[in-house]
Amino acid sequence: MILIALKELAEREGLVADPDYEPKEVHYLVQVSRDGRITGFTSTLSAPASGKGKPRPKKIRVPRHSGRTSGAVAEFLCDKAEYVFGVDPIGKRKAAELSKRRGLFLDKVRACAEATHDEAVESLLDALERGADLSLPQDVASNSLFAFIYEPDVDRLISDREGVRQYWRGVRQQSLANTDGSRSHCLVTGEPCVPTDKHPPLKRVPGATSSGAALVSFNANAFESYGLERNDNAPISRAAAEAYTTALNRLLDPAYPSPVDGTPLPRRNVRLNDSTVAVFWSRESSEFVDLFADIEANPAAVLATIEAPYTGRKPVLEDPQAFFAAILSGAQGRVILREWIETTVRDVAKNVRQHFNDLAMVRPRGETVPQPLWLLLRSMAMLGKQENIPPGLAAEFFATILRGTSYPRALLDASVRRMRAEQDVPAERAALIKAYLSRARRLGRLAPNFPEVTMSLDEGSQNVPYRLGRLFAVLERLQEAAVHPSATIRDRFFGAASANPTTVFPRLLRGAQPHISKAGSGGYFQKLIGEIVDGLPARSFPATLTLEEQGLFAIGYYHQRQAFFTKRGAAAPQEDVSNSQ
């Protein structure tokens, strides 16, 4: 189903209206004069529209590339310097190898000139044959692509001249006709076909090789069955293979050019970590789907679209059209499909709104905007680095957001482990823990008597782990008010207190007595400590806390900590809180 849906997307957006051409990042346009000379190089590099990041080359539709991964294969009228000019910018290739590659490129230009007698191609052939003393731009990289413009055409590529287009179309049709292999039925279209021997590579899949990776491939005997070899195990026509890979490359590209006017199409991907990305699309146009990628960095825009009472289009929560999503990871030469989701825009919008509701938590400085996905994911990773986010967990977490199912328990485990390792509960980690517990309770994954997790401080809660978290926050704040330490009890005891309370709290309570007399609001803290401890069964502390109870401890600590830095009435302590979180 995934390949069928991708093929339909490619056809709907006109991505394969001309299957013989595809957009590529062309770094330089080479001017060719009427008398067969190269007269200049024009760089297409420009700064991103956002103003951030390195300059990027312009995407231009050129003859479809072969998808070479190894060996010497020249592309038609658009290739790298080592093929076009026989020059290696980084100096790694030997002269004989460069001469061979230049010869392969010249052979393709020569064949086109002889077949078409096109004056632009003939001029290009003359220019390349005499161009041994060419001086290339200094900033040419090993992967820089060159395409050609015939000066009388002003700004039209030579590969776009009508005679050249007809020639290239014929070359591709002839190569298909010459393919050796028995006919079969295409798994995507159901029509008779000669299965393609090689599927075009997917670019921009994180974790895969820069030259691209295949979603469908059989490159070892272990993957083959019934005596079939390589891609005969999954017969797919070349047209269908080019359609689904073009659609996926469009989804993976943050600014894929429209085949109509070249403007960037709406983004359709969310990066989950260094090796995992989610792509998504709908059967028809949708304002919600156009904005959904903002869940990564600007979730407020997504939420506003869901909750807007009137947008000029069909309300998102009533849109029944199909919604598709795939989560992909790269692994050297192949692509791993981690998740495939097929649902409706209506259900995804409903589930995303529920996700935001589950995350809702009192925030520092009264913030109400939902946390972006990248911040939530990094809160579970060591050192908060994207490369340390477990790819399986990132994929499963994102899939549960779309499906509205229980968050993976590994999410709670990762959050609690980072909490104990870093001795801290930042807002995004607290929101994740609260979201997991709230959803697990609602979906019946926890015991019936498991307490409801509130957005803010619940002073009436009798739950022991929650009260212990509150108690730890009170003892820490008391220490801060009394002695202003460079390191608090949190830096030494938080992990132990959250997992084995009985080994820590008696000692902390004894150490708090001197602080009560030193703190300016010692009476307030003493009363608060008494109220919390009095709610504990037999005023005792449990030996251990389960993973879910450690989550409640974290929520209690976070809630109480935030309550200290929220404007209160006359009963609030009067010490300086200018360094609030």
Q: Which one is predicted more confidently, 550 or 486?
A: 550
Mean pLDDT of the chain: 89
Spatial separation of the C-alpha atoms in residues 294 and 351, rounded to whole Å: 16
Structural domain contains residue 419: no
Residue 465 φ then ψ, to 5° = -60, -40
Query: Taking 60 as the threshold, does the pLDDT of residue 575 lie above it?
Result: no
Query: Domain containing 233: what range?
Result: 184-250
Spatial separation of the C-alpha atoms in residues 228 and 236, rounded to whole Å: 14
61 and 43 within one domain: yes
Q: DSSP states of 330-372 as a string?
A: EEBTEEEEEEEEEEEHHHHHHHHHHHHHHH----GGG--SPPP
pLDDT in tens, 65-109: 988 877 899 999 999 999 999 999 888 889 999 999 999 999 999
Query: Taking 70 as the threshold, does the pLDDT of residue 315 lie above it?
Result: yes
Q: Can you give the pLDDT at residue 569?
A: 39
161 and 117 within one domain: yes
C-alpha distances in Å from residue 241, one per residue of 215, 233, 235, 259, 262: 10, 14, 10, 19, 23
- Looking only at the bridges linking them, the beta strands covering 322-331 and 276-282 are antiparallel
Lowest mean pLDDT among 197-211, 298-312, 363-377: 298-312
Q: Can you give the pLDDT at residue 572?
A: 46
In sequence order, the 6+-apart residues with CB closer than 8 A to the CB of 280 are 251, 268, 269, 270, 289, 292, 323, 324, 325, 326
For the record, the structure tokens of 272 come out as 């989950």
Going by pLDDT thresholds of 50, 70 and 90, the confidence category of residue 18 is very high
233 and 172 within one domain: no
Spatial separation of the C-alpha atoms in residues 345 and 339, rounded to whole Å: 17
Structural domain contains residue 328: yes
311 and 198 within one domain: no
In sequence order, the 6+-apart residues with CB closer than 8 A to the CB of 325 are 278, 279, 280, 281, 339, 340, 341, 399, 402
Residue 59's identity, in one-letter code, is K
Residue 254 φ then ψ, to 5° = -70, -15
Structural domain contains residue 383: yes
**Rounded average pLDDT over 518-532:** 87
**Rounded average pLDDT over 479-504:** 92
Q: Can you give the pLDDT at residue 327?
A: 96
**Rounded average pLDDT over 52-61:** 88
133 and 113 within one domain: yes
Q: Can you give the pLDDT at residue 438?
A: 96
- Tokens 């509960």 locate to 425
Q: Can you give the pLDDT at residue 221?
A: 64
CB atoms within 10 A of CB 51: 6
Q: Can you give the pLDDT at residue 52?
A: 75
Going by pLDDT thresholds of 50, 70 and 90, the confidence category of residue 309 is low
Lowest mean pLDDT among 383-397, 521-535, 556-570: 556-570
Strand partners of residue 326: 279, 340
**Rounded average pLDDT over 434-457:** 94
Spatial separation of the C-alpha atoms in residues 41 and 21, rounded to whole Å: 23
Strand partners of residue 336: 329
308 and 205 within one domain: no
Spatial separation of the C-alpha atoms in residues 422 and 174, rounded to whole Å: 63
Residue 80 host element (H or E): strand 79-80
Structural domain contains residue 317: yes
Structural domain contains residue 197: yes
Query: Taking 60 as the threshold, does the pLDDT of residue 264 lie above it?
Result: yes
Query: Taking 80 as the threshold, does the pLDDT of residue 174 lie above it?
Result: yes
CB atoms within 10 A of CB 480: 20
Sheet holding 145-150, edge to edge: 38-43, 28-32, 145-150, 79-80
Of 467, 466, 476, 474, nearest in space to 529 by CA: 474
Query: Taking 90 as the threshold, does the pLDDT of residue 520 lie above it?
Result: no
Q: Can you give the pLDDT at residue 314?
A: 58
Lowest mean pLDDT among 130-144, 175-189, 432-446, 535-549: 175-189
Query: Taking 50 as the threshold, does the pLDDT of residue 236 lie above it?
Result: yes
Going by pLDDT thresholds of 50, 70 and 90, the confidence category of residue 552 is very high
* 319, 292 Cβ separation under 8 angstroms: no
Q: Which of 359, 389, 405 is the last residue of a domain?
A: 405
Spatial separation of the C-alpha atoms in residues 386 and 439, rounded to whole Å: 25
Query: Taking 80 as the threshold, does the pLDDT of residue 535 lie above it?
Result: yes
Q: DSSP states of 442-463 as a string?
A: HTT-S-TTPPPPPSS--TT---
Query: Taking 60 as the threshold, does the pLDDT of residue 454 lie above it?
Result: yes
Q: Can you give the pLDDT at residue 342?
A: 97
For the record, the structure tokens of 175 come out as 């190569």
Q: Is 74 helix (H, G, I), strand (E, B) or coil?
A: coil
Strand partners of residue 31: 40, 149
Q: Which of 127, 149, 177 is the last residue of a domain?
A: 177
Q: Which of 387, 405, 423 is the last residue of a domain?
A: 405
Q: Which one is predicted more confidently, 500 or 387?
A: 500
Burial of 484 (0-12, 13-18, 19+ CB in 10 A): exposed
For the record, the structure tokens of 68 come out as 């070479």
121 and 61 within one domain: yes
477 and 357 within one domain: no
194 and 172 within one domain: no
Structural domain contains residue 98: yes
Q: Can you give the pLDDT at residue 567?
A: 55
Spatial separation of the C-alpha atoms in residues 354 and 179, rounded to whole Å: 52
Instruction: Name the percent of the chain lying above pLDDT 70.
Output: 93
Query: Taking 60 as the threshold, does the pLDDT of residue 293 lie above it?
Result: yes
Q: Is 99 helix (H, G, I), strand (E, B) or coil?
A: helix
Query: Taking 90 as the threshold, does the pLDDT of residue 519 lie above it?
Result: no
Instruction: Name the percent of the chain lying above pLDDT 90.
Output: 65
50 and 140 within one domain: yes
Going by pLDDT thresholds of 50, 70 and 90, the confidence category of residue 307 is confident
Q: Is 581 helix (H, G, I), strand (E, B) or coil?
A: coil
**Rounded average pLDDT over 468-487:** 92
Q: Can you give the pLDDT at residue 228?
A: 67
Going by pLDDT thresholds of 50, 70 and 90, the confidence category of residue 486 is confident
Q: Is 38 helix (H, G, I), strand (E, B) or coil?
A: strand
Q: Can you give the pLDDT at residue 516?
A: 87
514 and 377 within one domain: no
* 234, 187 Cβ separation under 8 angstroms: yes
Spatial separation of the C-alpha atoms in residues 411 and 358, rounded to whole Å: 14
**Rounded average pLDDT over 59-67:** 92
Structural domain contains residue 436: no
Q: Can you give the pLDDT at residue 579?
A: 37
Burial of 230 (0-12, 13-18, 19+ CB in 10 A): middle
Residue 147 host element (H or E): strand 145-150
List helix spans (H) across 117-192. 119-129, 162-177
* 356, 292 Cβ separation under 8 angstroms: no
Q: Is 155 helix (H, G, I), strand (E, B) or coil?
A: coil
- Tokens 């485990």 locate to 413
CA dihedral 185, 186, 189, 191 (to 10 degrees): -30
477 and 401 within one domain: no
pTM for the whole structure:
0.87
Overall number of domains in the chain:
4
Structural domain contains residue 500: yes
